[in-house]
């Protein structure tokens, strides 16, 4: 048998792939590439570099493969997936209420926008609407979150360009945002506070005082960005004319948010397709026509001022008491839980009440918590205006207690398509500024 194999090897042997026999069969050895390559290597001055996925200028766990000719970017390709969590798939194995704890972790810089869009989708399938006070609380939390997100965008973008002070003051102000959100919801991030049917619980009694103090601090500190950055010659020269993306390109690529508004189109879903009563709030949608990185920076500064206007109106509306969850007991149960002395689970009083009523009551509560409520079959799409643009939830129900399918139209994912158009033909240093002006959050991209 061995002789036959050796004979076959001799017949197929070529000068390019000499073979030798091993106990496992023939092994072919290929000569050096240069010995038989048909084309010669020509050094045309072009190199291919990887920026990221872990890089101080990559604005997240994003990999950019760039072909350079000197310092000019001739080709830019984006590689994503390094932060993949499978959240959309995981939602199919959780109840409708449990899904909130997953979606809040997608775009982790605007978790409350994810919670709101998801809950609005579930409520649309159920044919219900959250009480007026819950709607005000949702708007309040989303606008606070928008300010925090823009502060990170400006701070991180400054750090990537070498403006360390922009990062320190940006994150200093963001701490004010996180402290306030922690006081209002109990958590700094990933709140899971907005639930189908309303919100988990009412705001604390001293909420108005804390919000007003936040407004006072932010009105004092926002002008610091103008003093430090807006008129700073180096900052302007690094951003003006960089990452140019005109209106027709924005529309062709599906860009939204500050990216689209910097090209002159006042497209803001809070005005175009308002939810949660946004149509009753007085605020402006700032736009520019420069369509560059500096214009997007200016827009985010102005959007924070407009968010402060909306928050101030929310404080006035919160003076009117009211329920924060629908009356349907099956949907509303998360808002009726009491916290135990250890800060977790239910208080003993609540457990005694359930167990003391009847065995049927205890069984009903157990089934409600473990199985959740059923949602009528159907599919909906609900978008909201997140800090990065149009955040939409396409939710499909088969009539069960868990989603059949949830797909998210994440603005970071769509806006990143514009990166090659913004970077190619420019300097590699300017690609960093262009990427920072998009402000992608990779948790939302990879989800």
pLDDT at position 2, please?
Answer: 47
Whether the CB-CB separation of 325 and 128 falls below 8 Å is answered with: no
| pLDDT (average), residues 284-288 | 94
Residue corresponding to tokens 């023939």: 26
Query: How many angstroms separate the Cα of 322 from the Cα of each of 134, 141, 310, 360?
Result: 9, 17, 20, 31
Whether residues 355 and 415 share a domain: the answer is: yes
pLDDT digits (tens, 9 = 90+) for 311-343: 999 999 999 888 888 888 778 765 555 555 555
Query: Out of 101-115, 189-203, 228-242, 340-354, which region has the weakest mean confidence (pLDDT)?
Result: 340-354
Whether the CB-CB separation of 130 and 207 falls below 8 Å is answered with: no
Whether the CB-CB separation of 201 and 298 falls below 8 Å is answered with: no
Whether residues 104 and 246 share a domain: the answer is: yes
Say how far apart CA 190 and CA 187 lie, in whole Å: 7
| pLDDT (average), residues 253-257 | 92
pLDDT at position 311, please?
Answer: 96
Say how far apart CA 419 and CA 64 lie, in whole Å: 10
Residue 30 reports pLDDT greater than 60: no
- Quick one: pLDDT band at residue 34, thresholds 50, 70, 90? low
Residue 11 reports pLDDT greater than 50: no
What is the percent of the chain where pLDDT is above 70?
85
Whether residues 429 and 286 share a domain: the answer is: yes
pLDDT at position 54, please?
Answer: 77
pLDDT digits (tens, 9 = 90+) for 351-394: 676 666 667 777 777 777 788 889 999 999 999 999 999 999 99
- pTM, 2 dp: 0.85
Whether residues 88 and 176 share a domain: the answer is: yes
Q: For residue 95, is it within any domain?
A: yes
pLDDT at position 278, please?
Answer: 93
Whether the CB-CB separation of 222 and 298 falls below 8 Å is answered with: no
Cβ-Cβ contacts under 8 Å for 314 (sequence gap 6 or more): 136, 137, 139, 140, 143, 211
Say how far apart CA 382 and CA 111 lie, in whole Å: 16
Q: For residue 42, is it within any domain?
A: no
Here the CATH number for the domain that contains residue 179 is: 1.10.645.10
pLDDT digits (tens, 9 = 90+) for 56-66: 667 778 888 99
Whether residues 412 and 356 share a domain: the answer is: yes
| pLDDT (average), residues 295-315 | 95
Whether residues 392 and 247 share a domain: the answer is: yes
Residue 420 reports pLDDT greater than 70: yes
Say how far apart CA 242 and CA 228 lie, in whole Å: 20
No. of helices (H) and no. of strands (E), the chain? 20, 10
| pLDDT (average), residues 276-285 | 93
Q: Which residue has better confidence, 104 or 10?
A: 104
DSSP 223-268: HHHIIIIIT-HHHHHHHTTSS---HHHHHHHT--THHHHTTT----
- Quick one: pLDDT band at residue 18, thresholds 50, 70, 90? low
pLDDT at position 51, please?
Answer: 86
Whether residues 24 and 117 share a domain: the answer is: no
Say how far apart CA 289 and CA 445 lie, in whole Å: 27
- Quick one: pLDDT band at residue 398, thresholds 50, 70, 90? very high
Whether residues 360 and 214 share a domain: the answer is: yes
Q: For residue 216, is it within any domain?
A: yes
Q: For residue 46, is it within any domain?
A: no
Q: Which residue has better confidence, 1 or 399?
A: 399
Q: For residue 41, is it within any domain?
A: no
- Quick one: pLDDT band at residue 31, thresholds 50, 70, 90? low
Whether residues 31 and 85 share a domain: the answer is: no
Q: Which domain holds residue 301?
A: 51-446
Whether residues 134 and 21 share a domain: the answer is: no
pLDDT at position 330, please?
Answer: 79
Q: For residue 44, is it within any domain?
A: no
Whether residues 168 and 235 share a domain: the answer is: yes
Q: For residue 442, is it within any domain?
A: yes
pLDDT at position 328, please?
Answer: 83
- Helix or strand or coil: residue 295? helix
Q: What is the mean pLDDT of the chain?
A: 86
Number of domains in the chain: 2
Of 121, 125, 197, 112, nearest in space to 394 by CA:
121
- Per the rule left: phi > 0, alpha: psi between -120 and 50, beta: everything else, 345 is left
Whether the CB-CB separation of 415 and 389 falls below 8 Å is answered with: yes
First vs last C-alpha separation in the chain: 55
Residue 8 reports pLDDT greater than 50: no
Whether the CB-CB separation of 57 and 432 falls below 8 Å is answered with: yes
pLDDT at position 209, please?
Answer: 94
pLDDT digits (tens, 9 = 90+) for 179-212: 999 999 888 889 889 999 999 888 988 999 999 9
- Helix or strand or coil: residue 49? strand
Whether residues 238 and 383 share a domain: the answer is: yes
Q: For residue 45, is it within any domain?
A: no
pLDDT at position 47, please?
Answer: 87
């Amino acid at each position: 048998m061995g002789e036959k194999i050796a004979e076959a090897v001799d017949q197929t042997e070529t000068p390019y792939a000499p073979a030798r026999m091993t106990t496992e069969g023939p092994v072919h050895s290929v000569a050096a590439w240069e010995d038989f390559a048909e084309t010669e290597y020509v050094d045309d001055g072009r190199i291919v570099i990887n920026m990221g996925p872990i890089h101080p200028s990559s604005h997240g766990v994003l990999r950019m493969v760039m072909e350079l000719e000197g310092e000019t970017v001739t080709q830019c390709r984006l590689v994503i997936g390094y932060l993949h969590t499978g959240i959309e798939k995981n939602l199919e194995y959780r109840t409708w209420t449990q899904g909130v704890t997953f979606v809040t972790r997608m775009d982790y810089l605007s978790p409350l926008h994810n919670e709101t869009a998801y809950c609005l989708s579930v409520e649309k399938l159920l044919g219900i609407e959250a009480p007026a006070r819950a709607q005000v609380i949702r708007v309040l939390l989303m606008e606070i979150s928008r300010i925090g997100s823009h502060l990170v965008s400006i701070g991180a973008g400054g750090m990537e360009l070498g403006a360390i002070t922009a990062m320190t003051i940006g994150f200093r102000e963001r701490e004010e945002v996180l402290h306030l959100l922690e006081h209002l919801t109990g958590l700094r991030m990933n709140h899971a506070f907005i639930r189908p049917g309303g919100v988990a619980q009412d705001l604390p009694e001293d909420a108005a005082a804390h919000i007003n103090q936040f407004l006072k601090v932010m009105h004092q500190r926002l002008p610091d960005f103008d003093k430090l950055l807006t008129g700073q010659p180096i900052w302007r020269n690094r951003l003006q004319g960089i990452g140019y993306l005109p209106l027709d390109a924005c529309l062709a690529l599906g860009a939204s948010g500050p990216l689209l508004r910097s090209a002159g189109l006042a497209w803001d879903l809070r005005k175009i397709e308002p939810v949660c009563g946004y149509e009753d709030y007085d605020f402006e949608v700032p736009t520019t026509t420069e369509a560059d990185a500096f214009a997007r920076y200016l827009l985010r500064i102005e959007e924070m001022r407009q968010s402060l206007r909306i928050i101030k109106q929310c404080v006035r509306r919160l003076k009117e008491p009211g329920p924060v969850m629908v009356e349907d007991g099956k949907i509303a149960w998360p808002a009726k839980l009491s916290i135990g002395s250890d800060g977790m689970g239910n208080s003993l009083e609540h457990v005694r009440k359930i167990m003391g009523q009847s065995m049927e009551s205890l069984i009903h509560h157990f089934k409600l918590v473990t199985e959740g409520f059923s949602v009528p079959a159907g599919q909906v799409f609900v978008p909201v205006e997140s800090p990065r643009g149009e955040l939409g939830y396409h939710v499909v129900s088969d009539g069960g207690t868990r989603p059949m399918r949830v797909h998210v139209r994440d603005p970071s994912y769509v806006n990143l398509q514009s990166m090659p158009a913004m970077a190619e033909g420019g300097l590699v240093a300017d690609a960093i500024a262009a990427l920072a002006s998009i402000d992608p959050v990779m948790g939302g991209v990879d989800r």
